[in-house]
Amino acid sequence: MSVINVQGLTMIYKAPVRKEGLQAAFTSLFKRSYREIRAVQGISFEVTAGSVVGFIGPNGAGKTTTLKTLSGILHPTEGEVSVLGYTPWNREPAFLRNLALIRGSQPIGGPVELTVLDSLRYQQLIYEVPDEAFKKNLNELVEMLHLEPLLTRQIRALSLGERMRCGLALSLLYRPRVLFLDEPTLGLDVTAVGMMRRFISTYSHQTGATILLTSHYMADVEALCGRILLIDQGQLKYDGNLEDLSTRLSPYKLLKVAVSCETPPAWEDYGDVLEKENGKVSLRVHRGQIAATTSRLLAELTVADLSVEDPPLESVIDQVYREGIA
């Protein structure tokens, strides 16, 4: 069943422009000139219930504008949008109680004199969460985010990382059915990034929430998302899985080989040499020749180790941003 339905979404901003200088500044007080910024241009897609979908693109592609529209913060210039059967910008209470927009690693807010548990109980009142559901949701979030030692501490006494974990719990206490995560691992250290990825995956499986995730860290997308939507210059350029995108854009695979031969073989006979050191080599081989090349290597050389890999996801996505998709 489709939870998010977007048809022909378009968002056009009018930005004031003027020439430099005092006279231009004075003139602009009475007569302003504008230019159009087409942030989103007629994109359409659907997301089914329980999906975790990556929404990626370069800076300025229109990702955040789209998420703000889907969450009801912005009213689009054109197009139709339905989230959970609601029109987002009508901002009906029943819609807002089932949605969370989490931008970056947002720390817990509110008066810093309150304890973490006080803040969570205040959130319970705002979203009218019944006591039984509050206890159940709180216990799950405490376990997944390791919050037990923090509940009785004042917000002012928390570190930045602790505030971020508590802020995530605050956003999810009312068990939203749809999550829009805008760069959820931005600025986090390696340990916190791993915790965040595990949490998103666990939360999705346990609650069945539908998640639309934006991130510039392709490792986030690769670890969490079975499907990606790629947007560039306000237009949807790709809708599918990562493996198909890599196959479509890169006709090569990486063949990594380690041999125990005393005399180095002529690696150029097997493929394009990318790296070579101490009997280990990384070759670029056309996808259609992988099977034949692998067989030759095993038959002709004393192979200690061999692996076949797709090119790094970052390089594939970088190619999309620079060259587009044919």
Could you tell me if residue 324 is inside a domain?
no
> Residues 108, 89: one domain?
yes
pLDDT at 99 over 90: yes
Strand ordering across the sheet containing 178-182: 99-103, 178-182, 210-214, 52-56, 227-232, 235-240
Mean pLDDT of 218-228: 87
User: Sorting pLDDT into bands at 50, 70 and 90, what band is 137?
Assistant: very high
Q: Residue 106: pLDDT band by 50, 70, 90 thresholds?
A: low
Instruction: Retrieve residue 304's tokens.
Output: 């200690």
CATH number of the domain bearing residue 61:
3.40.50.300
- Check whether residue 165 and residue 295 sit in a common domain: no
* Dihedrals phi, psi of 290, to nearest 5 degrees: -60, -50
For 175, the domain range is 2-246
**199 with 295, same domain?**
no
The whole-angstrom separation of Cα 256 and Cα 279 is 11
Domain shared by 200 and 294, yes or no: no
Q: Are residues 64 and 107 in the same domain?
A: yes
Q: At 287, which CATH number?
A: 3.30.70
Residue 326: the pLDDT is 55
Per the structure block, which two tokens stand in for 145? 């985010």
Q: Are 99 and 83 in contact (CB under 8 A)?
A: yes
Number of domains in the chain: 2
188 or 75, greater pLDDT = 75
Residue 315 within any structural domain of the chain: no
181 with 256, same domain? no
- So what's the pLDDT on residue 107? 63
Residues 290/295/296/299 CA torsion (nearest 10 deg): 160
12 falls within a domain: yes
322 occurs within a structural domain: no
Measured between alpha carbons, how far is 212 from 81 in angstroms, rounded to an integer? 15
Specify whether 222 is located in the same domain as 260: no
pLDDT category of residue 226 using cuts at 50, 70 and 90: confident
Please report whether residue 60 resides in a domain: yes
Whether 127 shows a pLDDT value over 70: the answer reads yes
Residue 314: inside a domain, yes or no?
no
Which segment, 114-118, 243-247, 251-255, is predicted with the most confidence on average?
Answer: 114-118
Same structural domain, 41 and 93: yes
Read off the pTM: 0.78
| Domain co-membership, 240 together with 292 | no
Whether 94 is in a domain gets the answer: yes
